[in-house]
Amino acid sequence: MKRGLLILYTGDGKGKTTAALGTALRGLGHDYRICMIQFVKGPWITGEWKALDVFGERMRIHATGKGFIRNTKDMDRDRAAAKEAWQLAKETLTSTDYDMVILDEVTYLLKYGMVEEDEVCDHLRDRRADLHVVVTGRNAPECLIELADMVTEMREIKHPLRRGIKAQRGIEF
Amino acid sequence: MKRGLLILYTGDGKGKTTAALGTALRGLGHDYRICMIQFVKGPWITGEWKALDVFGERMRIHATGKGFIRNTKDMDRDRAAAKEAWQLAKETLTSTDYDMVILDEVTYLLKYGMVEEDEVCDHLRDRRADLHVVVTGRNAPECLIELADMVTEMREIKHPLRRGIKAQRGIEF
């Protein structure tokens, strides 16, 4: 029987969501059904959305975020959205509709105290034994690192924005 | 005018090629034409190949490697293949057929002295101004880090193989 892995991409550097997308792509090549929940990104159209659209129902993306939390104008609205998103994540983790679930930037919920870390780790631990899960986000809590089968820290060596280069279409979104 | 970025994913951890695949996916969503040269992987069918096939001519993959260099049975054969692959890379970098070129695990050529690092950096420096390039591989040389616009080090925190978990289809290939 297939063993479902828990993969964690964390750290401050770029490439966490990007690696999750690459993982999704690899799974799609094996006919996986995948659900990606984006906890920070909102429903604006990105390159990855357009490209993943060709996989139809096999690749679902829920962009539940309201933007970049740090610059929010309405923390109450964001908090409500985050709780709703976590509810969706829990349902997705117990559903039998998917072979892989991606929780993109879910660690932001922890940072802002919108969900407890034990709650997140418990639901990941109790998932179906053959379900692959990919989690991304900075500042992953210790329980998540403990629980994960594979953990990579993306460490920032050089960031284009710090060199005065604007975010490039086709690269960053 | 579009500014072509040089993106480098290096370090010992997992996720370098995976992040390059995610970057490709994002570019494909913006109608990029992409060429990926895999310097170590040989022409066996992987999940990413199957999935990327849906993008047809817009996504070309050359898997020029003969396997995992460390365990080679024929270093002369590998060396000849590497030189041929680098020749292909140079032609690809000067071609106008692509918006993005991915040199996957090209740093192995340097490690094994198959190509000089100045040679690699010179060709990357002299590329078309609007060409995005993604480079992956461990032990990136200093000139490449200098040259790159974005560098992320993938640092291994936990590796599934070290936990006795076999490579999983749909995750690692």
Q: How many beta carbons lie within 10 A of that of residue A54, not counting itself?
A: 14
B12/A77 Cα distance (integer angstroms): 41
B97/B94 Cα distance (integer angstroms): 9
**Tens digit of pLDDT for each residue in A71-124?**
667 778 888 888 899 999 999 999 999 999 999 999 999 988 889 999 999 999
B110-125 exposure pattern, b = at least 16 Cβ within 10 A, e = fewer: beeebbebeebbebbe
**Dihedral sign for Cα atoms in the order A27, B12, A39, B3:** negative
Residues in chain A within 8 Å Cβ distance of B23: 18, 22, 171
**Dihedral sign for Cα atoms in the order A104, A118, B161, B75:** positive
Tell whether B160 lies on the interface with A, counting CB pairs under 8 A: yes
The residues facing B8 across adjacent strands are B135, B151
Question: Would you list the DSSP string of A123-171?
Answer: HHHTS-TT-EEEEE-SS--HHHHHH-SEEEEEEEEE-GGGGTPPPPTTT
Residues in chain A within 8 Å Cβ distance of B168: 2-3, 5, 132
Q: Give the helix/strand (H/E) hosting B38.
A: strand B34-38
Instruction: Tell me the three state secondary structure of residue B129.
Output: coil
pLDDT in tens, chain B (173 residues): 688 999 999 999 999 999 999 999 999 999 999 999 999 887 777 899 999 999 999 999 998 876 555 566 777 888 888 889 999 999 999 999 999 999 999 999 998 888 999 999 999 999 999 999 999 999 999 999 999 999 999 999 988 777 777 787 877 77
Q: How many beta carbons lie within 10 A of that of residue A172, not counting itself?
A: 17
User: How many residue contacts between A and B have a Cβ separation below 8 Å?
Assistant: 196
Nearest chain A residue (CA) to B33: A170
CB B64 within 8 A of CB B37: yes
Tell whether B72 lies on the interface with A, counting CB pairs under 8 A: no
Nearest to B89 by CA among B56, B58, B114: B114
Residue A110 Cα, gap to closest chain B Cα (Å): 21
CB B136 within 8 A of CB B17: yes
Q: Give the helix/strand (H/E) hosting B16.
A: helix B16-28
B67/B20 Cα distance (integer angstroms): 19
Q: What is the pLDDT of residue A171?
A: 79
Kindly determine whether residue A25 and residue B25, on different chains, have CB atoms separated by under 8 Å: yes
Q: What is the pLDDT of residue A170?
A: 78
Q: Which of B49, B143, B158, B163 to mutate to test the interface with A (most CBs of A within 10 A)?
A: B158
Q: Give the helix/strand (H/E) hosting B92.
A: helix B75-94
The residues facing A133 across adjacent strands are A6, A101
B170/B173 Cα distance (integer angstroms): 6
CB B27 within 8 A of CB B99: yes
